[in-house]
Chain A
Amino acid sequence: MDFAQFQQAPVSVPTEHHSHGNRWDPYVDNGGTSLAIAGEDFVVVASDTRQSNGYSINSRYSPKAFELSNGSVLATTGYHADALKLVEHIEQRAQLYFHKHDRAMNVSAMAQMLSGILYSKRFFPYYVFPILSGLDAKGKGAVYTYDPVGNMERVNYQAYGSASALVQPFLDSQVGFKNQRNADPSRLLERPQAVKLAIDAFTGATERDIHTGDWLDLFIIDQDGIHQTKRELKHD
């Protein structure tokens, strides 16, 4: 915990100094957790909606997973202001693509583009950990994960954010069947199981991570489109 942040508040007095050399740090971590689980013909995406700053809760409902114009969902964590700008950046490029090609971007094209957008800011990165989800050209669930500078990987499931160290091992066990005898690690989950695991993961994360909680935005993407629901998490 960086206690210097209390002195960075807008009300600090002139004589108090900041910790990062003499240079103001233009980043903040707004906490929160996002995950995605791919199935044969669907993807489940979930993000909590708490936004925090240090020990303070800014808002109980500040969504960080966004439905994009091409029918995919971008779930983020990290620095919320950058996440919002990243979504604007993606949508602007997606619109240019739409007018140029007269069709919406498919998910793999958008995935590649997102990597490029992130890397284009390699030396002043968007402090965002994005998870891009949708259906690929064959209608299979697709989950693409990134680091803030654009490293990209297609995976079957991923958890990012302040509770990722709690949730990812849980998914490794229950979705990836890792380190289990007689289990097939490439097996994909059925839809009800994936939804149930996503909810359970957040119930657990909310219990142990102070930056995760309040509400859960749940997206199920299938060939009919995006089905969004909002569930309650603990508000403490």
Chain B
Amino acid sequence: MDAIKIQLPHTVQPRAENANDGAVSRTMQPIVTGTSVVAFKYKDGIMMAADTLASYGSLARFRSEKRLMAVGDNTLVGVSGDLSDFQYMQHVLEDLETRELCMDDDQTLGTKSVYKYISNIMYNRRTKVDPLWNSYVVAGLDHDEKFLGFVDLYGTRYQSPTIATGFGAHLAQPILRKRVEGREDEIEEEEALAILDDCMRVLFYRDARSFNKLRRAKVTAQGVEISEPYSLETNWDFAESIVGYGG
């Protein structure tokens, strides 16, 4: 058995501390960022959504970035935080998929394995005080068992029927707790989509780093399905009546 070692894909440069100039570079702060990810369990599996904006501080820098990713056949990963760190993680996960494929043993990557793999990378990097500045939401469906987990730059991890990152934790999570908690196995797809859109609409109204172009995704027994970008109906009539800064 070979030693377990993460091979850097050729497209990823070695980190600066490996170069011989003695300099060490770390992510001290996120630069190009993605905002909230919202996810919850419903009858057929798990729903997730994220907008397509990559912000550079308050600048809406890149407007069609993909923050939802499928890993293996039945795992969905959503990310918020620094998007260059996410691209690194994408390389690592694609590499993992390739190695799994090359095994040619009819085994596939399970959701819990992907979750543990990401968690270990995140905790390992925090332990080097060189974190990947992200929050990851990992969702999947293995043999009728729904899985929804979270891990962040501290390596803090938890599972919950409803998960929302960033501003979503403050704005969307209360909505999800009210409408989903305890009903995970009852909610039909139609209602799930309505709940998801309501959460994303609230986020678009109040989170100044959000964007009305988003993707949603679901994991069901049929696998992972990530939508094309779409927009939500919004109503700004109330703005007429706002005078001063009372909004």
Interface residues of A (CB under 8 A from B): 9-16, 18, 22-24, 26-28, 30, 51, 53, 56, 58-62, 79-81, 84-85, 124
Contacts and interface: CB of A to CB of B under 8 A. Distances in A.
B29 interface: yes
A10 B80 contact: yes
A59 B82 contact: no
A22 B154 contact: no
Given A24-B28, A81-B123, A58 B209 contact: no
Interface in B46-93: 55-58, 80-82
Contacts of B158: 51, 58-59, 62, 80
| Ranked 3 nearest A-B pairs via Cβ | A10-B81, A81-B155, A59-B158
Interface stretch (B105-113, B125-133, B212-220): B125-133
A6 B154 CA distance: 14
Interface in B3-35: 28-31, 33-35
B160 interface: yes
B127 A11 contact: no
B166 to A, nearest CB: 4
A53 B82 CA distance: 20
Nearest to A55: B170
Given A28-B154, A58-B150, A81-B156, A12 B170 contact: no
Interface residues of B, number: 40
B106 to A, nearest CB: 29
A164 B57 CA distance: 41
Contact of B57 (A15, A51, A53, A56): A15
Contacts of A80: 156-158
A10 B67 CA distance: 14
B166 A11 contact: yes
B156 A13 contact: no
B160 A59 contact: yes
B169 interface: yes
B76 to A, nearest CB: 19
Given A58-B150, A60-B160, A81-B155, A12 B29 contact: yes
A81 B167 contact: no
Interface of B: 28-31, 33-36, 55-58, 80-82, 123, 126-127, 129, 131, 133-135, 150, 152-160, 165-167, 169-170, 173, 209
B179 to A, nearest CB: 15
A121 B153 CA distance: 21
Contact of B129 (A24, A30, A56, A85): A24
A219 B155 CA distance: 27
Contacts of A23: 129
A13 B57 CA distance: 5
B55 A13 contact: yes
Given A12-B30, A13-B57, A24-B129, A84 B80 contact: no
B154 A11 contact: no
Contacts of A62: 158-160
A124 to B, nearest CB: 8
A14 B29 contact: yes
B135 A30 contact: no
B157 A11 contact: no
Contacts of B157: 80-81, 84
B228 to A, nearest CB: 24
A148 to B, nearest CB: 15
Contacts of B166: 9-11
A15 B159 CA distance: 32
Contacts of B35: 11
A11 B82 CA distance: 8
A187 to B, nearest CB: 40
A124 B135 CA distance: 23
